[in-house]
Structures are given as structure tokens and as C-alpha cells.
Amino acid sequence: MRRTISRRMTALAQSEIRAMTQACISMKGLNMAQGVCDTPVPPVVLEGAEKAIREGYNVYTRFDGLPELRQAIANKLAHFTPTLKRK
């Protein structure tokens, strides 16, 4: 029995989430947007999450993230990427 792909299937595209995961993999990065994890949560992460919730950090951030986190990421990148300049 010969199988063929229907014409409707030719327009089927990969999901955006899957595309982002593939892009992250190709850059040796980590896609933190999917929300699927099958490993135990380290105690330090649990403690940090509990503390943040108690302090009121329990809503989604702005689309561009927290300024403190963005600055920390920029500092780390500048440290590991000598061609970047720190502000």
C-alpha cells in the first residue's frame, strides 16, 4: 500500500514553540518558554520561588523582562564575551 501526503498537509507548518526550541538548540541555548521540565526542582530554586511569591513577585513580567535580570544577563555576557562593552 502506497501512502501519500494529502494536499491539506502540505501547508502544515511547525509550531512556533517547536521552532523556537530548534533555534535555541542550534545556538546551544536553552528555551525557557515551554514550561515543561522532567527533572526535580533544586531546593535553592524552590526556596527562591517561595521567597519571591511571599514578596509579591507573582505575576508575569513585562514583555521585555525585569530591568535587574536584563542587567545581570548583560553583565554576564560582557564578562564571557570580551567584545561587548559594559554600560
Q: What is the pLDDT of residues 39-63, one digit of tens each?
A: 898 999 999 999 999 999 888 888 8
Residues of the chain with pLDDT under 70: 1, 34-36, 82-87
Helix or strand holding residue 63 (H, E): none
* Torsional sign, CA 74, 76, 80, 85: positive
Residue with cell 511569591: 53
